[in-house]
Amino acid sequence: MTKKWWQPQYKRQADLIEEIRGQINSARLNQPLGPANEAFFLWVLSHHHEFEEKRGCGIRHLEVRENWFHGKATRGLWIVRTDGSEIDISWRTAIKQGGAMGHEANVKAAARHEVADQIEKFRASSWIHLGELCELCSEPLLQGQLHHVDHIEPFDELLRDFVCDDYSLIQLKDKGLYGEFACRGMAAQWSQYHAYNAKLRLVHAVCNLRRGKK
């Protein structure tokens, strides 16, 4: 069985939902979340299909607020951006499979899957970067921290250049929990293009999730 993105931290989706609701219900309203809570929700929300657009210029902090709908108040998450603008974001959408993604978003997800081996190869050698400074916050990268493999030139720009801004060139094959390029020749070309052009680095996971749209 294919591992879900919330595993092994949570065995079942129900366990993840219980944790999310517990943290939201215990949070102080209209106040920035603490570092541990924020790191948890950034991890969850990073799976939202509109996360890039929602975070915009960058995330200053996350808050729990009351959202009113038809006279009923429910608690929800809000992003406060670095420019002071605000927007709500649904954790329920984040944990849905795909989250109603459009073709462009599906192509981006499939393109990441096609080069996942390159990312994992870099990650496997990431120990050589421990002790170096994270380029996003200038703090040292230490063992035991959560790290991301980041593209110096944004991944979306690499892919957009590859398809010449025409995502309809890529047809997808549904593999259940992920999609892949239907044309394996195109997949090989993209893999080679990424291997040649992508410049990777190790950064703190929280720094990567909080910064502006890439």
27 or 179, which is more confident: 27
Residue 187 has pLDDT above 50, yes or no: yes
Tell me how far apart the alpha carbons of residues 129 and 142 are, in angstroms, rounded to a whole number.
9
pLDDT of residue 158: 96
Residue 35: count other Cβ atoms within 10 Å of its Cβ: 10
User: Helix/strand/coil (H, E, C) string of the chain?
Assistant: CCCCCCCCCCCCHHHHHHHHHHHHHHCCECCECCHHHHHHHHHHHCCCCCHHHHHCCEEEEEEEEEEEECCEEEEEEEEEECCCCEEEECHHHHCCCCCCCCHHHHHHHHHHHHCHHHHHHHHHCHHHHCCCECCCCCCECCCCCCEEEEECCCHHHHHHHHCCCCHHHCCEEECCCCEEECCHHHHHHHHHHHHHHCCEEEEEHHHHHHECCC
pLDDT at 105 over 90: no
Span 64-69, average pLDDT:
84
Q: How confident is the model at residue 99 (pLDDT cuts 50, 70, 90)?
A: very low
For the ranges 75-84, 155-164, 171-180, 181-190, the lowest mean pLDDT is seen at 171-180
- CA 16 to chain CA centroid, nearest Å: 17
Distance, CA of 176 to CA of 108 (rounded, Å)? 16
Relative to beta strand 147-151, strand 172-174 is unpaired
User: What's the whole-number mean pLDDT along residues 171-183?
Assistant: 78
Global pTM reads 0.60
* pLDDT tens readout for residues 126-174: 888 889 999 999 999 998 888 999 999 999 999 999 999 999 999 988 6
pLDDT surpassing 80 at residue 85: yes
Q: What percentage of residues in the chain have a pLDDT greater than 70?
A: 91
Name the percent of the chain lying above pLDDT 90.
61
Residues 213, 46 contacting (CB under 8 angstroms): no
User: Domains (ranges, CATH) in the chain?
Assistant: 13-94 (3.10.450.40), 103-210 (no CATH)
Q: What is the pLDDT of residue 50?
A: 83
pLDDT in tens, 26-52: 999 999 999 999 999 999 999 888 888
Distance CA 208, CA 137 (A): 10
Read off the amino acid at residue 90. Answer: S
pLDDT at 209: 87
pLDDT at residue 70 greater than cutoff 80: no
